[in-house]
Chains A and B, each alone.
Chain A
């Protein structure tokens, strides 16, 4: 039987039997469930229900603010004086009050009093108070329909068209980014776990000298290829299990997070590109890990050094919010082409905006090239330094070794 296949089979079985792999596979959906539960709990405990209204007192020194006191989530309660309003606030009858001073129309100043310690005033409450003020300011001179339009000037409906001017299938709503965001996060985890598994596996074999026994049976290339593919398949399996649990979790989350998750959409080519970037990203990270495993004096040193590229892997996620606000920045283009950040950055961008075809082709091309060059370099470096126990070669030694090999 083919030796590469034998090692592949052995490594795959050992990888999926590892307690760490099993725990991580199941803990991600469990943590997601937990997060939804915690969100529900916090929401229930801290937010009033939709039907519950907050009483906001007001003292009208102008004398025109007496209409539209029911603003849905808040109910405005008139008081004749500040003292009376303060008493009601302290007594818990109202949650806050405002004073509309007699010179309000000319100054625009309104005073707000509350017992709560706040950094900023609650936006919803302030918006509703502003509506109340607008209604009462305009009620004498403007028809009701116009006032309603002034208070809520638009109910925005966005429709995305394709190049032909027809309604695009992919509408680019918030639901569009959910799956790419989750996939990017899972991809980052899978690449990180895969890289660490390779480093610790090779480290164990080097430190125990089993690597010498293995190399007396198979070639370095056979061993490394089989290991990389086996751990890659294990990682892919893990991500697939996470993705299988995603619809259920999304459905659950949808009811918790206000329903907008019901609009979840898959960006075009997402599945195909997801698989391509997973495979290429995994191969690149595996080769980086193999190289580090070959030159490091021990496993923990290799793991410390691997933090360099693992941290870079997470860069697109750190700037996720900025990417949403500025989707066309050239920085994202660079990160989509730079091989270490390309897999996650491209997945993130797929959910945010359209990526020109040339950028995807360049990104995949650079990744493929990195993997091909990386394979050749990592095998050579591993061969040169795998038996150098307890000592890490210098950059100069590596360069000299590569030159002479």
Chain B
């Protein structure tokens, strides 16, 4: 059973369409990357999933049922813009919000200490939130999101404002949660994080799905018919190669539609060309994103 199942979702504000015919699923033990430019409809989608707002039409099921109050304890949500009660200390806030997720105090204290330690925040647990930096505040909110061991975790830009060390710590916790079988929706603009963490991705633009599938499928779908070759010799003209361009110490060979990389590799081997690296060119997620969204924006 899918943890999240979204079917044909529509949502409009006045004359602006925020979400249009959006369908996707998130399964236990996977991270779904939710990406798209600003105003694509990511936040609206998340808010509909969480039942903060009602869709105009369509259906959302969480753990196989429509969203209801009883399910809230199984969900952890980290909003994009974050704030804390300024007068409370970090631990007071964590324990208060953990209690609202049904945690008893003793377990919450133990779990909070564990997560504070993992994120390097243990020494700040008794510090008032108003005295914390933005990054520290974000880590406290991240801890609040996962402290109750939710089965569905929705993270909106979890890495923004974090230094590399703390980014690494948070990334590790997210990976571990996935390995423990949690379903995670990760909304971010950081494509490298999607590539590093996500199993599948959903790219939306102007409320519509423009890409949905596994990272591997996506990459192969957008793979150009070209290879990167690193060698010490001049390659000259090769049958089936329609273009070649130097690329950072290597050369990218663009193949004709009827030529496969294997045919080219065989040719090079037959000619005795010493090859240090031979790699099928796969576009980065960022390139795919720019390709899809950029073209539409133009």
Contact = CB atoms under 8 A, between A and B. Distances in A.
B83 A217 contact: no
A208 B99 contact: no
Contact of B52 (A3, A14, A17, A387): A387
A3 B79 contact: no
Nearest to B47: A387
A208 B141 CA distance: 12
B77 A216 contact: yes
Contacts of B72: 216-218
B265 interface: no
Given A208-B83, A208-B84, A215 B52 contact: yes
A387 B100 CA distance: 21
Interface in A1-23: 1, 3, 6-7, 10, 14, 17
B108 interface: no
A219 B70 CA distance: 10
Most interface-central of B69, B73, B144 (chain A CB within 10 A): B69
A361 interface: no
Contacts, number: 59
Interface residues of B, number: 27
B79 A217 contact: no
Nearest to B13: A388
A218 to B, nearest CB: 6
A10 B87 CA distance: 12
A contact face: mostly helix, strand, loop, or mixed: helix
Contact of B83 (A210, A216, A219): A210
A207 interface: yes
Nearest to B85: A210
Interface string B74-104: 0111011111111100000000110111000
A209 B81 contact: yes
Contact of B101 (A7, A14, A217, A386): A217
A219 B52 CA distance: 10
Contacts of B144: 213
B99 A216 contact: no
B50 interface: yes
A212 interface: yes
A214 interface: yes
A207 B83 contact: yes
B53 interface: yes
Given A208-B83, A209-B81, A218 B100 contact: yes
A10 B69 CA distance: 20
A216 B69 contact: no
Given A213-B77, A217-B72, A387-B52, A208 B82 contact: yes
Nearest to B93: A210
Contacts of A208: 81-84
Nearest to A386: B52
A10 B96 contact: yes
Interface of B: 47, 50, 52-53, 69, 72-73, 75-77, 79-87, 96-97, 99-101, 141, 144-145
13 contacts: A1-B99, A14-B85, A14-B87, A17-B87, A212-B77, A213-B141, A215-B50, A215-B52, A216-B77, A217-B97, A218-B69, A219-B69, A387-B52
Report, nearest first, the 8 A-B pairs whose CB atoms are least far apart: A208-B83, A216-B77, A217-B100, A212-B79, A209-B79, A209-B81, A6-B99, A210-B83
